Chains A and B, each alone.
Chain A
Amino acid sequence: MYKRLCVVKPRISKRTYATASNSTADQWSGWETVIGIEVHAQIKSRRKLFSESFNSTDEPPNTHVSLFDAAFPGTLPRLNRYCVDLAIRTALALNATVQPKSAFDRKHYFYRDLPSGYQITQNYAPLATGGFLYLDKAQRRVGLKQIQLEQDTAKSTYAPSLGATQIDLNRAGAGLMEIVSQPDMRSPEEAAAYVRTLQALLRSVGASDGNMEQGSLRCDVNVSVNRIGEPFGTRCEIKNLNSIKAVQVAITSEVYRHIDLIERGLPVAQETRGFDEERAETFKLRSKEDAPDYRYMPDPNLPPLLVSEAHVDKVRQTMPELPPALSARLQVDYGLTEKQAEVLMSVDSGVNIGYDGEVAPPGAVPYFEEVARGRDPKVVVNWITQELLAQLSRRDEPFIANPIPPSALGELIDLLQAGQITGTSVKTLIRHIFNSPSSDSPLSISTLMDELGLKATSSDLRAVCEKAVSLLPQEAELVRKGNEKVLMKIVGQVMKLSKGTADGKAAREMLQEILRAKE
């Protein structure tokens, strides 16, 4: 990536280009990069922000549209309280101050994806102000300016075969949270970390799926550059970045562009720019002078949004655990490593939260906690991450598609610990269940083991018997010499080793076989 930039910008070829991503500070020594990010996150509510139509993900175009979404005459907005509560959760998770009174404004412009000719947003008085997000690795505290509610636009797609743009109103009127940061980030890496951390936070409280590839999270980035010690430079906005990688590359490219201009003594024009992924560089969309006047007007249909302290407390109490607390708890209470905790927490787009912030069928963390009850958590977590999640990932399925109930996995682990089954057999069983999920419930491990011939396999029994023999060499010798009565003692040892789960008769036969063979 950086090599291509080298080709595009020969003037600054004197600089060394790092191949690792965290040496931009070295590349730009003497320069300060100032970055602020505006994130638009789709609110994970069932219905849209001001209408009763359902939010959609992949449905056929123009099937989730109400009269209001299509801006039919005579229709009026109706605020969806779930959106407000999810935004309050976000504000609390980000340490922002929820305003007791906020208001809705109309932002006017004509565009094909805006049926009513205006977007309902919160320009003058947003739902929450202030707050911060702490970036662990960079040890940077990124301040936030505000969090506001607003409508999403329709989706417009250019269809080359038709030579026309097609409009899908499914997304028109969906609820968005705009989270505006202060210009506190100082490198593309910090910007990427900010987005990642924010994504995890939004998912953990169930406010948004925060998925850039699916479009449930979009970023606009503001970048300015100044020589260290000097005031902030002119900032440029880069719009419509669709992945964290794009965020990093776009910022990097933009910084080079600014440095180049400043070094040549040219002014940096305040512009809004787009990002060309192919060429890994930004391009001008419009200048400051061309910036539209949105003619903000308070929306006369919507009364001020009043949120009481009592209501904020209620939201706080019904909120799920925040990532830092959850991660700490998994590490402290269960002895997991940070990495293991991270893997569990990042399964799917939300630990266990469905739409409207409701607790959905258990996600990976509660699953883990249930299986780990009374068992070695380190063993449990490995089976989950290395087998269960691997199977799901191979099938590209979400955690909810996991066919193995916690009790079944627990049983398998117990059997394994008891030597009743080998690790290989556990894997076989897991794969079998995934491939042909049992239609009868509850899942019977015992039955499956029989079907697959895995029950007390001779090799496992053999292992236990051999171990018993090694523990009782004198007795073994005696049995070899023909003393059958002592054999029962060794059988007893086998039972002890297998915690009573071994088949006594089979054990006796196995021992005889082992001992005779040694003759």
Chain B
Amino acid sequence: MQTATTGFAANLPLDTALDDFNAFVSLSTSTEGSNAGRGALPKGAKIAIKDNLCTADLPTTCSSAFLQDFRPPYDATVVSLLRTAGGDIAGKTNCDEFGMGSFNTNSTHGPVINPFKPQDARTQASEAPRSAGGSSGGSAAAVAADLSYAAIGTDTGGSVRLPASYCGVVGLKPSYGLVSRWGVVSYADSLDCVGILAKSVERVQNVFDVICRFDQKDPTSIPQDVRDRSKSRTDHSLDVWSHLAPGRFDGIKIGIPQEYFPTEMDASLRSQFRKTLETLKERGAELVPVSLPSTKYALSAYYVLASAEASSNLARYDGVRFGTYQKPAPRTDLSDTSAVYAQSRSKGFGAEVRKRILLGTYALTADAFDNYYLQAQRIRHAIKRDFNSVFRSPNVLLQNPNPPTTGGVDVVLHPTAINSAPRLGDAVQQGVDGYVQDVLTTPASLAGLPCVSVPWCVAADGWPVGMSVVGQWGDDRVVLRVAELTEDLER
């Protein structure tokens, strides 16, 4: 058991945690381990499920006091698919409340501790515990600590990729609409994606093959004919690359987006990225500088849209039909619904959730709507246009896609995070500074594009930083293939 030494960490409820890193919040008691290998997953593969996906046999708390006793009578579609494929659901993992957070410190179960051990034994001994990233910190920690074969998370603005980067594991955010959201507790419907974390791209790919299915219960699930159209295109690329010698990138065009190196980024990362690019060039990759001009507005647009949608999706939490009901104070006007509901909501929601609901509500008010919500939507369209103008393949979701006739790239490559994982004590003081962690991940979320974060290097402090491979909508297998190739690069 890791002992906490710094002031903040001393308050961690490690004695009640189910594991050393507080990654799991509930564990499955069923012994489904004896899967006869009938499914697509390796025999006995344990899969951890983030606690904002509904499971019928385990509580689904979304790390919120509001849902602390919630036991939905249904499995999320993703969970059903994994069970059918022979997956053994290991348990539910810790996360930021309702998916809102970048450090997994907004949780009623307490923060998750990043399992990574820096190589330098000297620093290791005096190391303060670090954040596992959020909001899928528990899932990332579970796979980083070998507590499960793979883990399911959700990624709305970077919540799978950032923890992957901090913990030094692989994290996939698929194209929006490819994996069913039925049974996933909504944070922001137009941005939420079910994601996968594991120690290798191959494992991520195995799980992805199981859960990437059309689901008629999800109205945003992309229909089969569109998936087929996209598949025939990716088949072609993969076929061409299958003839490459191991470790070679010949013919692969990689876009380097110039706007993805903000001043907040750790200086050592820039130089390391340059070295990585040189290596790629040596291995035959064609590097293409690209510009995605709307990038600098992405973070603001994301927070406006996500908060607005969150304020809408969380309006249902009143404690009447499910969840924790707070009996109204004695002098409450019981005929005023808002006055009654406010009491359960104020008690049940954590500070970050309350903040985003209030901001989102404001953004939707008649006075603010045009300046915030509509503006954010315009930025979102601009970001999509930016990406569509750099990728070689056309976006199959568009009626009249206009891909670049020349110079289009297969994938875009950039660091996943501006820094390594912060110490847990530092991570708690957030405010707007906390949001800046998402600056590199939010554009792909807004555009609905597939993105994999692979372990890349360590920052000056010896802690991991990941690298993101982004592709055109539907090109998930292309992105995974390039990600797999980069696994072989020297760190």
CB–CB A73/B67 < 8 A: yes
Mark A75-97 against chain B: 1 for CB-CB distance below 8 A, else 0: 11111000000000000000000
Measured in the bound complex, the distance between the Cα atoms of B98 and A74 in whole Å is: 12
Complex Cα–Cα for A77 and B311 (A): 18
24 contacts between A and B (CB under 8 A): A70-B321, A72-B72, A72-B321, A72-B322, A73-B60, A73-B62, A74-B184, A75-B182, A76-B181, A76-B219, A108-B311, A108-B312, A108-B315, A110-B318, A110-B337, A111-B337, A116-B316, A295-B365, A297-B308, A297-B309, A297-B312, A301-B220, A302-B219, A303-B219
Cβ-based interface call for A449 (8 A) = no
Which residues of A have CB within 8 Å of B181?
74, 76
Task: Assess the A117–B316 pair: CB atoms within 8 A.
Answer: yes
CB within 8 A of B218: which of A76, A110, A293, A300?
A76
Chain A nearest CB from B245 CB (Å) reads 44
A138 within 8 A of B: no
Bound-state CA distance A110–B220 (Å) is 26
Q: Does B230 contact A (CB under 8 A)?
A: no
Judged by a CB distance under 8 angstroms, whether B190 is at the interface is: yes
Measured CA separation A295–B318 after assembly (Å):
19
Q: In the complex, which residue of chain A has the Cβ closest to the Cβ of B367?
A: A293
CA A318 to CA B365, docked complex, whole Å: 43
Q: How far, in whole Å, are A115 and B320 apart by their CA atoms in the complex?
A: 9
Task: Find the A residue at minimum CB distance from B182.
Answer: A76
CB distance from A435 to the nearest CB of B (A): 49
Instruction: Please state if B72 and A74 are interface contacts (CB–CB under 8 Å).
Output: yes
Give B contacts to A, CB under 8 Å.
Answer: 53-54, 60, 62, 67, 70, 72, 74, 76, 181-186, 188-190, 216-220, 308-309, 311-312, 315-316, 318, 320-322, 337-338, 341, 361, 364-366, 369, 373
Residue-wise, chain A 104-124 has the 8 Å CB interface mask toward B (1 for contact) of 001010111001111000000
Contact A73/B219 with A108-B315, A110-B338, A111-B337 known, Cβ cut-off 8 Å: no
Q: Which 8 A-B pairs have the closest CB atoms?
A: A117-B315, A300-B190, A295-B364, A71-B316, A300-B189, A74-B183, A73-B185, A116-B316
* In contact, A73 and B316 (Cβ under 8 angstroms): yes
Chain B residues contacting A118 (CB-CB under 8 Å) are: 312, 315
Task: Name the B residues within 8 Å of A390 (CB-CB).
Answer: none
**Contact residues of A between 293 and 315, Cβ < 8 Å to B:** 293, 295-297, 300-303
Q: With A116-B316, A293-B365 in contact, do A74 and B182 touch (Cβ < 8 Å)? A: yes
Which residue from A74, A115, A296 sits with its C-beta under 8 Å from B76? A74
Whole-angstrom distance between the alpha carbons of A111 and B366 in the complex? 20
Contact with B along A52-70 (1 / 0, CB 8 A): 0000000000000001001
Instruction: Report which residue of A106, A110, A167 has the largest number of chain B beta carbons within 10 angstroms of its beta carbon.
Output: A110
B321–A301 touching, CB < 8 Å? no
- When C-beta atoms are compared, the residue in chain A nearest to B216 turns out to be A78
Residues of B within 8 A of A71 (CB): 316, 321
Q: Could you say which residues of chain A place their CB within 8 Å of the CB of B189?
A: 300-301
Q: Write the chain B residue with the least CB distance to A294.
A: B366
Complex: A116 Cα to B182 Cα, angstroms? 16
Kindly report which residue of chain A lies nearest to residue B368, judged by CB atoms. Answer: A295
Shortest beta-carbon distance from B190 to chain A in Å? 4
Contact A78 B217 (CB under 8 A): yes
Q: Which residues of A contact B53 (CB under 8 A)?
A: 74
Taking A74-B185, A76-B181 as known contacts, 18 extra A-B pairs with beta carbons closer than 8 A to each other, sorted by chain A number, are A67-B74, A73-B72, A73-B322, A74-B74, A74-B184, A75-B182, A76-B217, A78-B216, A78-B219, A106-B312, A112-B337, A116-B316, A117-B316, A293-B365, A295-B361, A297-B308, A301-B219, A303-B219
Query: In the assembled complex, which residues on chain A have CB atoms less than 8 Å from the CB atom of B364?
Result: 108, 295-297
Per DSSP, chain B at the interface is loop
Given contacts A67-B74, A74-B182, contact A110 B321 (CB under 8 A): no
Among A74, A117, A296, chain B packs the most CB atoms within 10 A around the CB of: A74
State how many angstroms separate the Cβ of A298 from the closest Cβ of chain B: 9
Chain B residue nearest to A65 (CB atoms) is B321
B315 touches A297 (CB 8 A): no
Asked whether B315 lies within 8 Å of A116 as measured between CB atoms, the reply is yes
Nearest to A164 among chain B residues (CB) is B334
Given the complex, which residues of A lie within 8 Å of B184, measured CB to CB?
A: 74
A-side contacts of B365, CB under 8 Å:
293, 295
A78 to chain B, nearest CB (A): 6
Residues on B with C-beta less than 8 A from A70 are: 321
- Name the distance in Å between A388's Cβ and chain B's nearest Cβ: 46
Partner of B309, one of A78, A79, A116, A300: A300
| Closest chain A CB from B330 CB (angstroms) | 15
A110 to B319, CA, bound (A): 13
Name the residue of chain B whose CB is nearest to the CB of A169: B321
Q: Is the CB of B322 within 8 A of A79?
A: no
In the complex, per-residue mask of A265-305: 1 if CB is within 8 Å of any chain B CB, else 0: 00000000000000000000000000001011100111100
- A113 vs chain B, min Cβ distance (A): 9
Smallest CB separation, A341 vs chain B (Å): 45
- Contact residues in B for A293 (Cβ distance below 8 Å): 365-366
CA gap between A72 and B312 in the complex, in Å? 14
Are B321 and A73 closer than 8 Å at their CB atoms?
A: no
Selected contact of A73 from candidates B186, B308, B366, CB within 8 Å: B186
Interface residues in A113-150 by Cβ distance below 8 A to B read 115-118
Min distance, Cβ A514 to any Cβ of chain B, angstroms:
80
How far apart sit A296 and B363, CA to CA, in the bound complex (Å)?
11
Q: In the complex, A111 Cα to B219 Cα: how many Å?
A: 26
Q: Which residues on B sit within 8 Å (CB–CB) of A75? A: 182
Contacting residues, chain B, for A73 (C-beta < 8 A): 54, 60, 62, 67, 70, 72, 185-186, 316, 322
Please measure, in the bound complex, the distance between the C-alpha atom of A72 and the C-alpha atom of B75, giving whole angstroms: 12
Interfacial chain A residues near B322, Cβ < 8 Å: 72-73
By beta carbon, the residue of chain B nearest A167 is B320
Query: In residues 14-43 of chain A, which contact B (Cβ within 8 Å)?
Result: none
- Most chain B CB within 10 A, of A71, A76, A296, is at A76
The interface residues of chain B lying within 8 Å CB-to-CB of A117 are 312, 315-316, 318
A469 to chain B, nearest CB (A): 80
Give CA–CA (A293, B338) in the complex, Å.
Answer: 14
Compute how far the CA of A75 lies from the CA of B190 in the bound complex, rounded to whole angstroms: 14
Q: How many whole Å from A456's CB to the nearest CB in chain B?
A: 66
The smallest beta-carbon distance between A429 and chain B, in angstroms, is 55
Chain B residue numbers with a CB within 8 Å of A295 are: 361, 364-366, 369
Minimal Cβ-Cβ distance residue in B for A295: B364
Tell me, in angstroms, the Cα distance from A75 to B316 when the chains sit together: 12
A136–B337 alpha-carbon span in the complex (Å): 45
Which residues of A have CB within 8 Å of B54?
73-74
Do A79 and B219 have beta carbons less than 8 Å apart? yes
The answer for the CA separation of A112 and B186 in the assembled complex, in Å, is: 21
Residues of B within 8 A of A79 (CB): 219
Q: What is the distance, in angstroms, from A268's C-beta to the closest C-beta of chain B? A: 24
Q: Specify which chain A residues have a CB less than 8 angstroms from the CB of B218 in the assembled complex.
A: 76
B311 — which chain A residues lie within 8 A by C-beta?
Answer: 108
CB distance from B482 to the nearest CB of A (A): 30
Chain A hits for B220, CB < 8 A: 76, 300-301, 303
Note all chain A residues with C-beta closer than 8 A to B185: 73-74
Interface centre among B216, B308, B312, B322 (most CB of A within 10 A): B312
- Which B residues touch A76, using CB under 8 A? 181-182, 217-220
- A301 CB → nearest B CB, Å: 5
CA distance A79 to B216 in the complex (A): 11
Bound state CA distance, A106 and B309, in angstroms? 10
Given A73-B185, A78-B217, A115-B321, does the pair A110, B316 have CB atoms closer than 8 Å?
Answer: no
Query: How far apart sit A118 and B361, CA to CA, in the bound complex (Å)?
Result: 13
| A79, B60: Cα distance in complex, Å | 27
Closest beta carbon of chain B to A118's beta carbon, Å: 6
**How many Å lie between the Cα of A118 and that of B311 in the bound state?**
11
CA distance A75 to B186 in the complex (A): 9
Contact of B316 among A115, A167, A302 (CB under 8 A): A115
In the bound complex, residues from chain B placing their C-beta under 8 Å from that of A297 are 308-309, 312, 364, 373
Q: How far is the CB of A116 from chain B (nearest CB, A)?
A: 5
Taking the closest CB of chain B, its distance from the CB of A285, in whole angstroms, is: 13
CB contacts (< 8 Å) of B321 on chain A: these are: 70-72, 115
